[in-house]
Amino acid sequence: MNLSGELRAGTEALGLTLHQSQYDRLLEYLQLLEKWNQVYNLTAIQGLPRMLTYHLLDSLSLMPRLGDCHKVIDVGSGAGLPGIPLAIAMPNSLWIMIDSNARKTRFIRQAIAHCGIRNAQVVQSRVQDYHAPDRLDFVVSRAYAPLVEFCDSVAHLLEPGTRMITMKTGLSQQEVQQLDTNRFAFEEETIKVPGISETRSLVTISSL
């Protein structure tokens, strides 16, 4: 099966239906990421097939949990993950990707322009220094930081109704014990990403 077929099969396994133009943009992004990665070392995952699974499908697995959201911040976005795949798949929502690394934010800007993504922005900043001008529906992260550090770093962005979702390879008992349950409530959901045998979980957090 070629990349296009693998992507379509993977999204269908996740319960997602996208337009052909969205599949095309996802693959354009993936090919650009693979090209830049050869020079700038943006991700440890090598080769288009593995990148499709571990980056595109892994990022898109978050989509069913976001509902009809309007504005989302992707913290520690790195190479634009999960923000760029989700911005492509969710054109009616605005995605703001934050990272302090100049090389990575430069790539995200190039990817946004190259793929013609109109509902995505990138900010080079520490998230602790960023202040959102409008209310956020979600603050998301993908392997950004331990749970407590993630919550503390984005607490100033939270308003009533804003939820946090962090994508992890499993929530450790130590992380759970360190979380201040007087401030935050959390729920962990184990998910299955097509082609990935390792544990994947989404931790949804809300402030009390």
116-169 residue pLDDT tens: 999 999 999 999 999 998 999 999 999 788 889 999 999 999 999 999 999 988
Q: Which domain holds residue 29?
A: 3-207
Unique residue bearing structure tokens 């070392």: 41
CATH code, 196: 3.40.50.150
182-206 residue pLDDT tens: 999 999 999 999 999 998 999 999 9
Nearest alpha-carbon partner for 37 in 55, 24, 62: 55
The pTM of the whole model exceeds 0.85: yes
Number of separate domains in the chain: 1
